[in-house]
Homo-oligomer: A and B are copies of this chain.
Amino acid sequence: MKPRFQFDVHATDGAARTGVIKMQRGEIRTPAFMPVGTAGTVKAMMPENVRSTGADILLGNTYHLMLRPTAERVAKMGGLHKFMNWDRPILTDSGGFQVMSLTDLRKMTEEGVTFQSHIDGKRLLLTPERSMEIQRLLDSDIVMAFDECTPFPATEEVARLSMERSMRWAKRSREGFNSGEEHASRTALFGIVQGSIYEDLRYRSIEALAEIGFDGYAVGGLAVGEGQDMMFKVLDFTMPRMLSDTPRYLMGVGKPDDIVGAVERGIDMFDCVMPTRSGRTGQGFTRRGPINMKNARHKEDGRPIDSGCSCPACRDYSRAYIHHLIRAGEILGAMLLTWHNLQFYQDLMQGLRTAIAAGSLTKHANDFRAEYQSGDIDALAE
């Protein structure tokens, strides 16, 4: 019988670890990168092709789905997996982050957040209980607690009040999640550590969440403008205090070198729109740094983006062709570059997993950084 949620660490290397999360709908190799399927689709990708890049799990956005097509409608259509043709695990966020970043006229109280839909202007209320209900209706595999992503920068006082409210909401999230017994019996709930850049607040948040008890713990409130140095600094003091027998998820991160540094510090899971969003605006990710496919330097370059990459963009097409597609605004340009970027991110994760298992993460990470920072995209095609 498949476990509801089981995290097995197979190897550690410094603070980093590699392993597997076993769930009803499939296994998730860690460290894992979750492509973002905002509105029930990983933009410009067929789900079978997302899978072919090596993705074990997707992220779905509660906020977008609750507005359109609505969680009730997704439930009526048999849940998000059937709706979007993805039968493996899906993690859903709580909706809180997008409510704060995408809506106008929002008002936060102890009860929750009232806001106006950015689609039809309708007035709505999102609470921990409603967030749990929505994620249950979507039939999420990993449900995220409803919290406030503390804005950055925040004074210690503001960060404290925000974190404390998030911890009260975490408790209500746990109760709301548990109340959906059938769903709770086969899925998992993650808590989210807040506390901004303040060591003491982060510790108190970790303790508050541990007391409630979750299947995994996310680090929230980062990748919100604090910069990589500060993000790593927060991870440096936060990670050693987090439980080691549960997965640790860094939300909304990030650039390839962010991910490498966070894995070195013990993070197991990531999500980010960067590979998909960049793919639609002409930016490719490579071992040797970003490549801007709009740039005229590519216009007669018959070489692939990366001769070592197995994606169709690199296998079947030249830089010149992809440059042409992006310049002409062709959908196929977004399709190919998104595919490449997702392949790059999954290859990055596979490289990290292999290095951790081999006990060579430090060398691997240093080599990666040196190559990535070189920016020598010509060498890719050799």
Q: How many copies does the complex hold?
A: 2
**A334 near B: Cβ within 8 Å?**
yes
Give, as a whole number of angstroms, the nearest-CB distance from A340 to chain B: 13
Give, as a whole number of angstroms, the nearest-CB distance from A298 to chain B: 11
Q: How many angstroms between the C-alpha atoms of A66 and B59 in the bound complex?
A: 42
**CB under 8 Å from chain B, chain A span 304-330:** 312, 316-318, 320-321, 324-325, 327-328, 330
Residue from B280, B300, B332 within 8 A of A76 (CB atoms) = B300
Q: Is the CB of A68 within 8 A of B327?
A: yes
Q: Is the CB of B324 within 8 A of A46?
A: no
Q: Is the CB of B77 within 8 A of A45?
A: no
Q: Is the CB of B318 within 8 A of A44?
A: no
For the complex, count residues of A whose C-beta is within 8 A of B: 35
Q: How many angstroms between the C-alpha atoms of A260 and B144 in the bound complex?
A: 55
Q: How many angstroms between the C-alpha atoms of A37 and B68 in the bound complex?
A: 33
Q: How many angstroms between the C-alpha atoms of A8 and B321 in the bound complex?
A: 36
* Further 12 A-B residue pairs, CB within 8 A, beyond A40-B321, A41-B330, A43-B330: A39-B324, A43-B331, A44-B332, A46-B332, A68-B324, A69-B320, A76-B300, A77-B320, A83-B318, A83-B320, A85-B317, A335-B335
In the A-B complex, list the 6 residue pairs whose CB atoms are closest, starting with the nearest. Answer: A44-B331, A41-B332, A85-B316, A69-B324, A39-B328, A41-B330
A: which residues have CB within 8 A of B?
Answer: 39-41, 43-46, 68-69, 73, 76-78, 83-85, 280, 299-300, 302, 312, 316-318, 320-321, 324-325, 327-328, 330-332, 334-335
